[in-house]
Amino acid sequence: MIKVFRLKIRYIILAAIFLFALTSAFNKVMNLLENRKVAVLSWTVANKVIVIDPGHGGIDPGSKGANGAIEKEITLDMSKKLAAVLSQAGAIVIMTRESDTDLSDPGGGPLITRKRQDLSRRVGMANDRGADAFISIHVNSFKSGIREHGAQTFYQPNSMEGAKLAKCIQGELVRLMKNTNRQAKAVDYYTTRNAKMPSAIVEIGFISNPKEEELMCEQGYQGKLAYAIYSGIVKYFAELATPTDGNIDKDKAIQTFMINKGEVCDAP
C-alpha cells in the first residue's frame, strides 16, 4: 500500500514537472510570436514625431537611491536607448535634453520657479513641433516602503488617447519585464495636462528599492525596458492605423517584415 502511494506521488510530481515545462515552453513561443508581431507592425511609427523627455536634469537631480544612483542619470541613459530603437523603426525622435542640463534660464530665480519654467519648455517643445506622442521617463521612489517595485505608467485623467497609450506601454512592461503587475493609472501631472498630444509618464522602477535601483543602472536591463516601452508605442499606433476588424496594411507589413533584420528593433 505504501509502495503504491509512493508511486502515485512520483507520477504526480512528474506530471507537475511536465506541465510546468510545457507551460513554460508555450509562454516562450507566444512571447516570440508577439515580439515578431511588434516587428511587423513597426512601420506604424515610421515618420511619427515622438518627443522623449528624460526626467529631471541640470539643477534638478530627481531622486537618489541608497546605493548612490541618481534619477536624472538613469532617465537620460534610458531615454537614449528608447530614442535609438524608435529611430531604427523610422520614427522622428526629439529629446528634450541630451545631456545633464535643464531648460530653465540660468539664474532665473528660486528652484521652484526654474523647475516650472523647465517643465513648461519641455512640454512646449512637444507642442511646438506638433508631436504625435510625448513620453516622459522617470523613476519612482517610496522611502517608507523599500519593497515597492515595478514599472508603472501614468496618463492624464479624462485623456482617452493618453490612457490608450499608457495602457499599451504598461501591458508590454508587464509582458516583457515579468516583474510588475501594476496597471496604468490616471494622475494629474503638469506635462501630461498641458501636452496637446497623447502623452504618458513612465516610472521605470523604484529607486528606493535597492535591488531595483541596481537593476535600473544595468545596461542590459535598460535595453529591455526600452524595448518594452517601444513595443507599447508601436502597439498604440498600430491600433490607430488598423481597422476595427483587425486587418493591417499587408503591403507595408510584409515590406517591414522582410527588411527588419532585428538588429535593434528585436527584443533583447
Domains of the chain as residue ranges with CATH: 35-259 (3.40.630.40)
Higher pLDDT pick, 207 / 19? 207
Tens digit of each residue's pLDDT (9 = 90 or more) over 219-238 = 999 999 999 999 999 999 99
Tens digit of each residue's pLDDT (9 = 90 or more) over 139-188 = 999 988 889 999 999 999 999 999 999 999 999 999 999 999 999 999 99
pLDDT at 42: 86
Q: Give the pTM.
A: 0.82
Q: Under DSSP, is residue 243 helix (H, G, I), strand (E, B) or coil?
A: coil
**Residue 265 — very low, low, confident or very high, per pLDDT cuts 50/70/90?**
very low
End-to-end CA distance of the chain: 52
Across 102-141, b (16+ Cβ under 10 Å) vs e yields bbbeeeeeeeeebbebbbeebbebbeeeebbbbbbbbbbb
Here the cell at position 203 is 516610472
pLDDT at 108: 77
pLDDT at 246: 44
Q: How far apart are CA 119 and CA 124, in angstroms?
A: 8
Instruction: Please give the mean pLDDT across all residues of the chain.
Output: 85
pLDDT over threshold 50, residue 240: yes
Beta bridge partners of 57: 60
Tens digit of each residue's pLDDT (9 = 90 or more) over 39-62 = 778 889 999 999 999 999 999 999
